[in-house]
Structure 1
Amino acid sequence: MKRIYLSLLAVFFAATTFAQIETPVKWSYAAKRISPTEAVILVKATIDAGWHIYSQNVKEGGPVATSFTFPPSKDYVLVGKPMEPKPVTKYEDAFKMNVSYFENSAIFQQRIKLKKAGATTVKGKVEYMTCNDRKCLPPDEVEFTVSLSAK
């Protein structure tokens, strides 16, 4: 009897754990050389219908802005800040302010200048917050690695 109880408890726990995980944003990454010494890192968010992520430019008191961090590298330096497409800007009652966000998809671009010729790997991390018209999920962080081949 104890085995049956423990088995049922394990199944219930597993089912409720899987049922609670929501991942309305999928991330993909690529790199494109634009010259022998420069490249662009492309970070794409594919967002499920009804959900959105926020711009990098959110006023204080609003939701968690999307942000990128890149650790220092001996192979490249960042050129400027990550660029983003034009966001939708609307008033959100949850934050009592106008906020800028992306629906469906957004491609962020970070230019880099290479310090040496050859292949390199770019590592980074994106932090973001996802909301829909009923709720917001806790902020999340995703680490990524992009390979840039030699040209």
Structure 2
Amino acid sequence: MKKLTLMLSLLFFTAMGAFAQIEDPVTWSYAAKKVSATEAIVYLKASMEKGWHIYSQNVKPGGPIKTSVKFEPSAAYTKVGKTIEPKPITKFEDVFGMDVSYFENDVIFQQRVKLAKGSAVVKGTVEFMVCNDRKCLPPNEVSFSVQVK
């Protein structure tokens, strides 16, 4: 009887795992373009599924987790200025009790870098939180690596 109970429990949890889906409504892509012999722009693009959004880098404390881009230190390149973003949508969100800025559909973050030599591999991470009108998923962090030639 114990074996039967154990087998049924194992079968139940295996079946439940098969039906569970991990939501991942944001897809990231990366590119770089040289703008001179010594400088390039790194592009970090987030594409969100319909109904989902990620937050600006400039969300005030007390709100959702803002998007943050961190570049790994390297002798091959140095950052020039801050990571820029397009103009976000800003609206009052009751859940946070404040105005928040966010992006829907697609957003491209840009970072200018100065190259020590003619090429470099630019690496780092992007931390972000994604929400829709019903829920927010836990903050996520993705790594990126972009070849600048």
Q: TM-score, normalized by length of structure 1?
A: 0.91
Matched, 1:14 2:17: yes
Corresponding residue number in structure 2 for 1:123: 123
Q: What do the CA deviations read for 1:9-42 (whole angstroms, capped 9, x no partner)?
A: 35324224x42x1111100000100000000000
Q: What do the CA deviations read for 1:93-127 (whole angstroms, capped 9, x no partner)?
A: 1100000000001000000000122x321101000
Superposed, 1:100-139 pairs within 5 Å as 100-117=101-118, 119-139=119-139
Deviation at 1:146, TM superposition (A): 0.6
Name the CA distance, whole Å, in 2 between partners of 1:10 and 1:30.
41
Deviation at 1:8, TM superposition (A): 1.6
Deviation at 1:5, TM superposition (A): 2.4
| Aligned-partner residue type, residue 67 of structure 1 | S
1:11 is paired with a residue whose SS is helix
Matched, 1:43 2:18: no
| Aligned-partner residue type, residue 108 of structure 1 | F
Structure 2 gaps of 5+ residues are: none
Corresponding residue number in structure 2 for 1:81: 82
Q: How many equivalent pairs are there?
A: 146
Corresponding residue number in structure 2 for 1:72: 73
Name the stretch that deviates more: 90-99 or 6-15. Answer: 6-15
Q: TM-score, normalized by length of structure 2?
A: 0.92
Name the CA distance, whole Å, in 2 between partners of 1:61 and 1:110.
26
Corresponding residue number in structure 2 for 1:141: 141
Structure 1 gaps of 5+ residues are: none
Name the CA distance, whole Å, in 2 between partners of 1:123 and 1:71.
6
> How many percent identity over aligned positions?
57
